[in-house]
Structure 1
Amino acid sequence: MSSPTTTGVAGVGIGWRPEISGFVESLPGLRFVEVIAESIGSVDLGGLRDRGIAVVPHGVRLSLGGADPVEPGRVARFAAAARLVDAKLASEHIAFVRAGGVEAGHLLPLPRSRDAVRAMVANTRCVQAELDCPLALEPIATLFDWPDDELTEADFITEILDQTGALLLLDIANVYANARNRGEDPAELLDRLPLERVAYVHVAGGAEHDGLYHDTHTDPVPVEVLELLGELCRRHRPPALLLERDGHYPAAAVLRSELDALAAVSAYPAIT
């Protein structure tokens, strides 16, 4: 098992959302949270920061994989959000959310082509030039692959990281979803990824619909994803794990049990 990357975040954390802010702020052993970067200026994180809890801005609107250059205003706001919380790490997605001036409203997968690598690298470098902290990139879950992909998922991710020097935000549920939906072994995909670049790990729930696994963030974390997380920890113990929940929030006791399950699998201290 190799040593983790130094990222400024550690242990088990949770995605901060307004609907569960009271629960999050009550967790005694909490070390870090992730907050949607585009919302940071409108929420009060003072109580968390007073406790020394690290805040990771997580962007969802930059559209780094878009064919058009990333918008300077969006980059400036993203960098300002990171400075506002004195972030030691920020993150965004290997994806696009707009094209030709049309907003998709959600993250879309890139064709795994050399042209897409070049666009992603150029836009990522523009963001890195404005940040005062490292940037981690998250590959998304997808229900389909584009025709005539030139690269495997692992090679596509590795090329982007190698050319930008960015870290990897590894969503273990996305690894499970993508491999399962292709009829592949998730552990084999895990073995091909650059795990030495992992900055932190997302863990989320999902559900099967019509034969495909959907990364919903509204369902419990399935046992298969926890088992894959265990495989990751045996290969390369990540610096930090973060539970994602986005809607259909369960009772506090259920959320605590999901956080405790992450701690148990990774052997990190419980935060509840």
Structure 2
Amino acid sequence: MKKLYILGLAVCGMAACKPNIEPKAPERGDADFSAYLAAGSSHTAGIMDGSYYLDGQMNSYPAMLGEAFNAVGGGNFKQPLVPGNHGWPIGKLILDYVQGPCDSTPRLAPRPFTGALDTTGTASNIYSSEGPFGNMGIPGSKVTDYLIPGYAMANPFAARMFKKAPTARAVDELLLPEHTFFTLWLGMNDVLDYATMGGDTAGPSKFRNKLTEQSNFRTAYDSVLNTLTRNGAKGVVMTIPDVLD
């Protein structure tokens, strides 16, 4: 009985010992996150489910980083937000029951949203009313596109957020939002279009499917990186992940 009594006291004692762990306050180290700029293409912009919509932008990796940076002195991170969640300029993929030509019964699969799209205000330039933007990700862009004058005339996403949309190069627009820290993720679309089309680059209509020449990739990437670091800003750079790793 005495042993049981001692054992009971020991158990009660251990149960009463609640650890008092104080979470360590976040530290920024040597980085200055007061003005964060994200440069890149579709992944940076927040493309999800094959389209561009509000929830995708709000859950983009730059938006998550911008929120985290607020804990260590980060400033307001602005994005060129679209007005709704149906998708623009095409409907986003939604999960639904669909029936294919060889299916006897409907099956659960993704299909494009076919209702009214979020077109109100999406074709208008919003720089003067909402810019400059911290998220400068341009959906569909390749590295070499950043050096093309007037690129926004061919890309409606750039046309919405560029200050000098009719004539500007994307690389020059990166100088407009002052920044102390940046992320740069370019290169995915330089191989993705080629890969998704099975390497089919025949015909003038398929020039976007071609792999970017290595020398052109280097020239354009270096130009963008030199622009981002021109005023001494530090950052993180990414290119093409190893999809087989």
TM-score (norm 2): 0.32
**Higher percent of residues as helix:** 1
TM-score (norm 1): 0.29
